[in-house]
Structure 1
Amino acid sequence: MIALVALMLTARRFQAALVVLLSALATAAAVAGPAYTAAVDRAATVAEVANTPPAARTVALTGAIDSTQRDRFDALANDLADLPRFNTVLTAVLPVLGLEPASGEISWMTFRDSACEHLEIVAGRCLMAAGEVIVGESTAHRLGVAPGQSVTLSWATYDDATRRWVSSGRPAPITIVGVYRPRDPAEPYWGRSGYFSPTAPDANQEPVFTGRPTVDGLEHESDNRSVEAIPGPGALDADQLPALGVALDNLRDKLGDDEESTGFATLNDELPKLFDRVRRSDALTRELVPLAGLPLIGLCWLVIFVAVAGATAARRHEQALIALRGAPRIGRFWLAAGESVIAIAVGAPIGYLVGTLATRAAANARFGPVPIFELAPAPGVLLAALVAVAGAVAVGLLALRSDLASPVVDLLRRVPPRGAAWRTVAIDAGAVVLAVVAAVQLRAFDGQLLGLGLLVPALIGLAIAVLAGRLLVPLAARLGRRAIRSGRLGLALGALQVARRPGSQRLFVLLAVAVAVLGFATTAVDVAGRARADRAAVETGALRTLTVGTVDAGALRSAVRAVDPDGRFAMAAGTRSSAEGPPVVFADTAALPAVALWRPEYGDRSAAEIAAALRPPADEPVVVKGTELALTVNYESRTPTGTELRLTALLRPLAGGSPVRAGTAKIATGRHTWTMASQICVVGCRLAGIEAVYAAAGGTAADISIISLAERPDQSAPFTDVVPAFGTDKWRANNDATLTAQDGGVHVVVPGAVVQPRPTVIVPTGTPTEVPVLSGGPPPKSGEAEGVDGNVVAIRPVGEGRALPRIGTGLLMDIGYAERIATGSTDLTTAEVWLGPAAPADIEQRLTDQGLIVTGRDSVTAAADRLDQRGPALAVWFHLLAGGVAVLLAACGMWLMAAVDRRRNLDDLIALRRQGLAARTGGSWVLWAYLPVAIAAVLAGLVAAVIAWAVVGKYVPYFVDDDFALAPPAWPRPLAIVLPAVAVALLFTTVAAGLRRALRVRD
């Protein structure tokens, strides 16, 4: 029997080769899914790590360590050093006095492992012995020091009473031996230190490096120590993250469980955020790739079924002869199945190798050469290959079932008998029911793509195809009869062959499902691409953005307006970190219409309308210009034991900059004039308010009346009133304090506090009571938010959208309006300059000339590129690959069916030619036997793709996070469906034309 099967394979080697090819394709398709998933996992991890700042990749153990805690700290440092593929750097820092005796400022004496290897010595040499230090280049220039000079340094502590740094240790002579500059301030070695931030003040941030013996030898009770674990090559690779996560969890447990360590050391670790993003990316990849991979495997099985069923139908006469010779049923089975099973088994290893190599090539072409996997059988890949082979064998045997069960008389007929109607109806109904069940499960599990939910697009495509296929036979028969009556013999013969050939409906289903898979893929890719473009525009807010160093909000606005007074191409913007409440983006909204990329997600009002609603009122503020201020007050404490009451004028420079607090001295009882120096306000400051607060808890209620506020332009000029009168109609107070008129001024009761004093601030009535905001998402129910100074302010929403630029959900507030109501420091956590399309090429230099230091750059294009490298974007491209392979499989299936029927078709054509059928008519017969089926399948596949997207589209994930709460486009652009459909129709037409040429009969 083995020899007979071998002879059969040799005799029909072309058909056997086709089955081998289809088996290889099925195995390759099965292997491609898990292999591509592994590639995406690694590439997405690389992208997530690259988008994580170097400081956030560093694990640091920090603490203020005294002599009794050093052993415990060293033990924990050793545990940190055990992190796989991380390099640890020990740092010890002491505040010292003596390097800057003129100003009395402290310096930071710093020991850092291997610092000399990362510093460039511009003068002198690096450290060699105890008692030596090296200073930064800018520090040496500012202080006028050089190598060889000696200084006396001592450990410093901060005195809360005097609010000064004081010497607390025995002074020691130190020699300056060198002047340095960092080789690369941004290299990973510097970890979380931030020593060389371009906006850091030189005196406080540029460290004075020294050796460990010098730090240990200088008398001190405690120092600030840290051990930073800096990732080395491969430390954050995808296969290293699980072990790293376990090691960090153990370290946290050890730090938290040890009572001695509690409170003296802190583990600064932002890697769990990276781990969460990677896990989320992996989870989404495992939803998106099978969504395309599983239908492709099913399509391969369908092609194998069509191929085996067609080949079996062509061998019906042979099966009948074997049965007539008395062969046992088991022998008949192996003779019938042997060809297919052996061909499938031969194709499986070929498919495994081809699938692995092809996936590697596709991954490298899509996201670069990332080390993804080896050719050795991986568990997931090997299991997928085994499933694919088992499924191929099963469908091959299923295709044999009908002919093996048929009686000999039916096998001797050239035209097989029609099957039972109930069987085909049951199969069609089963496909429809399965699609409905899968769709219901998808909705029942809140759109989670798991189980049957992963098969919804394919099942919907199959259901539509089988339902439309039910109409194919009667329509083809009617078309054939009409063509006969009209004398169009080629069309009539082709249509009647479609109606009578059992494989026509199978071919239609195959082609329609393939088109549905491709249509769903192109739709997903198009919608995902547009969703990423939308998010990139929201993430950046403008065409380009420049990040600048930490700066005051007013100074940022003044600098940008000096560069662009009319707001045509640049806009000041920024955010401030907030512990509570929604995030807020502050922007100079005068430039909003010209600069911001305004989107429908921001609400139904235009950028110009929002800018007009958010800008501050035209009320003139109270402006102070001078070197001194004088407050006339009448103060009376209700109890003689009250704590010290402080009175402060809160001023803000008109040109922007840090706020000025004029006067904090103790207020004496009785009526007096109090002078407060304010040198910064010579060019003008806005009076934000007058603050009254107890210096410490324990104060009781006190009465204070503010009579007048006067300024003096210079030391020789007299005081002149800033505000002619302190009436209750010109002032108001916070904290629900009530102002009353008294003694020609305003009277307010300053409450005491048992735990924490709360300031009472008296502000001019021209200061807004609430700030208009644009809300991205529902506004806070409290009606409050944190302003630009971190204080809570009342807000008034003027519009509501689904999202806001840069922050997603939150609030948009005019930076000038927010500053008008601010009483505290208005330094921005993130300061930016948004640029519109009209921004000049030298914009960075112009901003630098205004004192802004550009530290980062971003753009819509760069943001889109970052999103393109993340897991969901990489995974969704597998849909397009799967769709392309599906269409090629369908074209192969059409050619395969024609090859199987070739002998019978040629016999029919030869017989008809002998009876006078024209050669041209015979050729058109072959064309019309396949082309209408293909075109109808394209139309049915498009309908199925649209229906599948309507059911599944809103559940397809596009992003690792949902920080911006954007609704993706609901439907693709028409060309995204039309162009692939036209391309597929042209492909199928080409195949049909090729079949006409291959099957033509020459005279």
Structure 2
Amino acid sequence: MIALIWTAIVARRLVSTGMFLLAALLSTGLSLVPWYAERATGTAAAARIAAAPPADRTVSAGGTVAVDLAGETVMQTFAASARRALALPVDGQAVGVELAGTVTAGERQLPMPLRYREGLCSNAVIDGHCPQATGDVILSAQSAERLGAHVGDRLEVTAGPASARRPLRLAGIYHPADPLSWYWTTAGDAAWTTFDTVVAAGATVRATFDAMLSPQVFTRGGDLTAAVDRMRRVPLQVSTAGVALAERIAADRQVVARGVWLAAAQLAVIGWIAMAVAARYAAEEHRPDVAQLALRGARRWRLLAATSGQTAVPIAAGTAAGALIGLLADGPDRLPVAGGVLVAGLAAGLAAAVLADWRTTRLPVERLLHAAAARPPRLGSAVVEVCVLGVAAASIYQALATSSPFGVQLLAPGMLAASVAILAGRLLMPAATAVGRSALVNGRVAAGFGALLLARRSSAYRMLPLLAAAGCLLVLAGQRWAEAGDARHHRSAVEVGGQRVLTVASGDRVRLLNAVRAADPGGRQAMAVVAGTGPGGVPVLAVDSPRLPYVLAAPASLDTRRLRPPAPPPITFSGTSLTLTASVPAADDLPDAGADPPTGPPVLLATLVVAATGAPVTARFTPVDGGRGPAGASVPDCRSGCRLVSFELLGGRAVELRQLDADGRTVIGPAVFADTGRWRTGAGNIAATISMRSYDGRLALAAVPAGLSKLPVDDRLYVVDAPVPLPAAVAGPLPSSDARGTATIDPFGSRAVPVEPIAAPLLPGAGTHGILVDLEYADRVAGGAPRAERQQVWLAPGAPADVLDRLRDAGLTIVAEDSVGAADARQARFGPAAAARFGVLMSGAGLLAAAIALLVISAVQRRARAEEFQALRRQGVPARALRAAGRGAALVPAALAALTGALAAAVAGAITHPPIPVFTDAWPASAGTRSAGALALLGATAVVAVLFGGCALAPQYRGRERAWRR
């Protein structure tokens, strides 16, 4: 028996090889599922962690502690309790204390915290020396410039209105060693000092604990959530974005698991059906063997073993080979998986082989000796077809009626393709018969014989549903992959902003603007951007909006001109001295200021900024001669140009402003002082403590009390050189309005300003949730010292390579770079892309399985077709006509299956919902994907047609039956 089976396998080696390849393909694909799922999950997690900014991996905790006595012991206790509550592996941690305050250098003041933190000197490059003694501080370059302080200068710090001033000494100017490290992401700008300095400044301070979590924390379920709960029970005030990162990683894990198992199930179904169909047609070649054994009196079980063994042995060998490949790829730890695949594959293969030969072994000998195979039962075929049509109708109905991608809808693409193929096959036979008869009558021999041959081939009809379903699944997977890739690219372009994004060392915003404009005077290659965080962690981007349309990698979803409406020009001048003509109004002209009005001579402070650098300058005016007459102030920093920001009234109750001159030239004349449209009090949620009145070429300022208002106090009169409210494009929920019905934001984390919201679905650099404002206008209205912000330069598509050198020559230091291409590469490693990629691979494997089955069927029918053609040659039919007829009869079903699958894929793609989402968050996946999907559909259809055509034609050129080809 074994010899008989082996001899038959060798004699029919093309069929046996096809069955071996089918089993090996199916077994290999299924055995690699756990390996791919684990590998893709790990890769996606690593990609998410690598793409996340350091702030997303940190945990920051704080609490108020009293350190007047035994301060170091209190801090050690605080640090120990925070570490014990966290109880997670970390890559770095730092404990510190901070005290809110204001640093003063001469007449300049800058609100900033006084802060101590472990590891400061090892994370900073200091021009000077690290704080060592009590009172030593170091400042950032921009903070020192705003204060006009140099190393060795004396400073003062106050911790509140009632706090005494404490002396400080500027020990150095620092620069972050790595501005993008977690240490500086959680630190921000401050006056850095020693622990004793902070303790001496206030008995009650805020203790801080910051930790950079290790990557494995985010891959272990709810460990971080539990740790945050423990820290809050200490109690500590805890903030972290790590929980959201862990949720994104968990979503990737879920999407990968769902995608790979759905793809594996699809391959299992298509592969087993292909194996069963191929085995059924291979059984046609076993009829002579069954007849000979039956004539020799063999029992039925021996007949079944001899025939099904010819199919079962190659299937068993292929299944074992596939399981071995999976075991080698996955390692010995996956031996149970390989064993399970082997057992399941053997069971499925043996079932297919036995069922294929079961009917053949039941036929009587006289039927087995017939040249033509017995027709299948018509009732059975009809029942199967009706079931397929019914399931297809149910799945299409669910797809149209619900938005869920699961349930019966998962069967819609394959069943739709199979149903269309069944109907096409039903029409193919009579149509081919009619065409063949007509062609023979009209003398077209090749077309006539080809059509009649096609009409007699029941295999063409039976194979169409399988081929169409396999082609449909591949075309649909390729279409969805292309659409998802286009959607990912669109998201990368929106989130990155420019084609390339350069992160530069932080400095003054005005200096950033001037440097970029100097490097790109045309305004079409580069744009300055300041990225910060608004209320509730909302991203806020301030951009040089006139350049925005030219540098974006993807077209903006808003009219960028609305961000920069016309506004009065700024008040600028060049000079080294200012002269203010002012007077004190009569008492009867003063507004009622309530109890305890200010007394003494009026002092007026003018806040200026250097036009080139943005450094603040304060000009102090004290009117003489009883408060009447010109007052002078020296401003040497304004030699190259300054811009007037505001006036502030100190020490007196009121003053009238008439004219401001710089080096004898008029800067502000009576007409401008009298123009109420050029002046405003504080904007946003503040209590203004100054009132103004313009009349007769004068601007009268009067100090008024804040009363019982709990709002922050602003005692300045500002120049109107930007629109208020500030136009702001908003993606996501609009900013909430205050009690006055005005929406406000603080674009730079220092001063809230009213805004005019402009709704936008997507914002460059922010995505679906963020705020976009004009950088120059926002800096004029909000101003303030730099806080936790990132300064960037966006480069336009096609920007020349030398733009980086021009930016460096303009004084910018590039510390990091990102691009749309890099963002595409990151997204290609996330969970949805990995799951979709595996789906395409498994669809390709299913298509290959159907093609191998077609190859097996063509090989089975090759011998019978050769005998028919030899008989026709004896009757005088030209060999050329027979060759053309054979090719046509083989290619028509292959082309029909490819076109049917493509049509079904196009319909299924339009009516069904993909089970694998393009993104795991709320980002819209439909933008800009249709053209890519159409091109992918055409390309995949061409691949399917070529593969099916090649497999249908290949057996015709094997062995070249010379008897009829001559």
Code of the residue aligned with 2:895 in structure 1: it is I
User: Aligned residue for 1:795?
Assistant: 756
Task: Give 1:217 shift.
Answer: 14
User: Aligned residue for 2:777?
Assistant: 817
Task: Give 1:381 shift.
Answer: 6.8
Aligned runs of 1:365-404 on 2, under 5 Å? 373-377=330-334, 389-400=346-357, 402-403=359-360
Instruction: Tell me if the contact between 1:306 and 1:503 (Cα under 8 Å) persists in the aligned partners.
Output: no
User: Aligned residue for 1:294?
Assistant: 265
Task: Give 1:44 shift.
Answer: 1.5
Alpha-carbon displacement from aligned partner over 1:289-337 (angstroms, at most 9, x marks no partner): 4554433332211221121110223334555676788877766655654
Change (3 A) 1:643 1:90: farther
Change (3 A) 1:452 1:691: farther
Alpha-carbon displacement from aligned partner over 1:148-197 (angstroms, at most 9, x marks no partner): xxx9x9x9995653564459xxx9xxxx9xx9999x94499x753569x9
Task: Give 1:779 shift.
Answer: 6.5
2:936 to 945, 965, 976: 976
User: Aligned residue for 2:224?
Assistant: 248
Instruction: Tell me if the contact between 2:529 and 2:543 (Cα under 8 Å) persists in the aligned partners.
Output: yes
**Structure 1 segments unaligned to the other structure (5+ residues):** 143-150, 361-372, 696-702
Q: How far apart are the structure 1 equivalents of 2:732 and 2:56? A: 29
Q: How far apart are the structure 2 equivalents of 1:279 and 1:505? A: 47
Say yes or no: does 1:83 pair with 2:88: yes
Q: How far apart are the structure 2 equivalents of 1:518 and 1:843? A: 45
Change (3 A) 1:110 1:883: closer
User: Aligned residue for 2:766?
Assistant: 807
Instruction: Tell me if the contact between 2:535 and 2:746 (Cα under 8 Å) persists in the aligned partners.
Output: no
Alpha-carbon displacement from aligned partner over 1:529-578 (angstroms, at most 9, x marks no partner): 32233222222322222222334443332332233333132222233311
Task: Give 1:24 shift.
Answer: 1.7
Scaled by the length of structure 1, what TM-score is found?
Answer: 0.75
User: Aligned residue for 1:161?
Assistant: 162
Instruction: Tell me if the contact between 1:662 and 1:677 (Cα under 8 Å) persists in the aligned partners.
Output: yes
Task: Give 1:989 shift.
Answer: 3.9
Change (3 A) 1:228 1:711: same
Change (3 A) 1:164 1:256: same
**Structure 2 segments unaligned to the other structure (5+ residues):** 66-70, 145-151
User: Aligned residue for 2:38?
Assistant: 38
Change (3 A) 1:792 1:60: closer
1:843 to 803, 814, 817: 803
User: Aligned residue for 1:236?
Assistant: 215
Change (3 A) 1:408 1:383: same
Task: Give 1:691 shift.
Answer: 7.0
Task: Give 1:517 shift.
Answer: 2.8
1:620 is paired with a residue whose SS is: coil
Code of the residue aligned with 1:806 in structure 2: it is G
2:890 is paired with a residue whose SS is: helix
Change (3 A) 1:746 1:767: farther
2:723 to 756, 764, 768: 768
Aligned runs of 1:269-284 on 2, under 5 Å? 269-284=240-255
1:433 to 378, 390, 397: 390
Task: Give 1:1000 shift.
Answer: 3.5
Instruction: Tell me if the contact between 1:651 and 1:685 (Cα under 8 Å) persists in the aligned partners.
Output: yes
2:708 to 739, 753, 771: 753
Change (3 A) 1:447 1:399: same
Task: Give 1:952 shift.
Answer: 3.6
Alpha-carbon displacement from aligned partner over 1:353-382 (angstroms, at most 9, x marks no partner): 23566xx5xxxxxxxxxxxx4254267776
Task: Give 1:275 shift.
Answer: 1.5
User: Aligned residue for 1:617?
Assistant: 566
1:637 is paired with a residue whose SS is: coil
Which shows bigger deviation, 725-734 or 51-60?
725-734
Instruction: Tell me if the contact between 1:28 and 1:356 (Cα under 8 Å) persists in the aligned partners.
Output: no
Say yes or no: does 1:57 pair with 2:65: no
User: Aligned residue for 1:364?
Assistant: none
Change (3 A) 1:475 1:63: same
User: Aligned residue for 1:370?
Assistant: none
2:318 to 326, 347, 351: 347
Instruction: Tell me if the contact between 1:923 and 1:997 (Cα under 8 Å) persists in the aligned partners.
Output: no
Say yes or no: does 1:898 pair with 2:858: yes
User: Aligned residue for 1:367?
Assistant: none
Change (3 A) 1:3 1:861: closer
Number of aligned pairs?
914
User: Aligned residue for 2:893?
Assistant: 933
1:602 to 535, 538, 557: 557
Alpha-carbon displacement from aligned partner over 1:936-969 (angstroms, at most 9, x marks no partner): 2222222122222223477753234445776241
Task: Give 1:897 shift.
Answer: 0.8
1:806 is paired with a residue whose SS is: coil
Change (3 A) 1:488 1:41: same
Q: How far apart are the structure 2 equivalents of 1:217 and 1:406? A: 101
Task: Give 1:895 shift.
Answer: 2.0
Code of the residue aligned with 2:88 in structure 1: it is L
Change (3 A) 1:425 1:163: farther
Change (3 A) 1:187 1:751: closer
Task: Give 1:579 shift.
Answer: 0.9
User: Aligned residue for 1:457?
Assistant: 413
User: Aligned residue for 1:540?
Assistant: 496
Instruction: Tell me if the contact between 1:919 and 1:1002 (Cα under 8 Å) persists in the aligned partners.
Output: no
Code of the residue aligned with 2:831 in structure 1: it is G
Code of the residue aligned with 1:47 in structure 2: it is A
Code of the residue aligned with 1:708 in structure 2: it is L
Change (3 A) 1:346 1:632: farther
RMSD: 5.5
Change (3 A) 1:915 1:565: closer
1:579 to 535, 544, 556: 535
User: Aligned residue for 2:834?
Assistant: 874
Code of the residue aligned with 2:754 in structure 1: it is V
Code of the residue aligned with 1:808 in structure 2: it is G
Change (3 A) 1:47 1:765: closer
Instruction: Tell me if the contact between 2:157 and 2:167 (Cα under 8 Å) persists in the aligned partners.
Output: yes
Task: Give 1:997 shift.
Answer: 2.0
User: Aligned residue for 1:556?
Assistant: 512
Say yes or no: does 1:708 pair with 2:657: yes
Aligned runs of 1:140-219 on 2, under 5 Å? 158=159, 161-162=162-163, 164-165=165-166, 185-186=177-178, 191-193=182-184, 204=191
Instruction: Tell me if the contact between 2:45 and 2:219 (Cα under 8 Å) persists in the aligned partners.
Output: no
Q: How far apart are the structure 2 equivalents of 1:821 and 1:122? A: 33
Instruction: Tell me if the contact between 1:623 and 1:685 (Cα under 8 Å) persists in the aligned partners.
Output: yes
User: Aligned residue for 2:235?
Assistant: 262
Code of the residue aligned with 1:435 in structure 2: it is A
Aligned runs of 1:506-521 on 2, under 5 Å? 506-521=462-477
User: Aligned residue for 1:994?
Assistant: 954
Q: How far apart are the structure 1 equivalents of 2:282 and 2:75? A: 81
Task: Give 1:46 shift.
Answer: 2.0
2:215 is paired with a residue whose SS is: coil
User: Aligned residue for 1:369?
Assistant: none
Instruction: Tell me if the contact between 2:734 and 2:757 (Cα under 8 Å) persists in the aligned partners.
Output: no
Instruction: Tell me if the contact between 1:653 and 1:681 (Cα under 8 Å) persists in the aligned partners.
Output: yes
1:315 is paired with a residue whose SS is: helix
2:19 is paired with a residue whose SS is: helix
Which shows bigger deviation, 675-684 or 990-999?
675-684
Q: How far apart are the structure 2 equivalents of 1:837 and 1:910? A: 66
Identity %: 29
Task: Give 1:270 shift.
Answer: 3.7
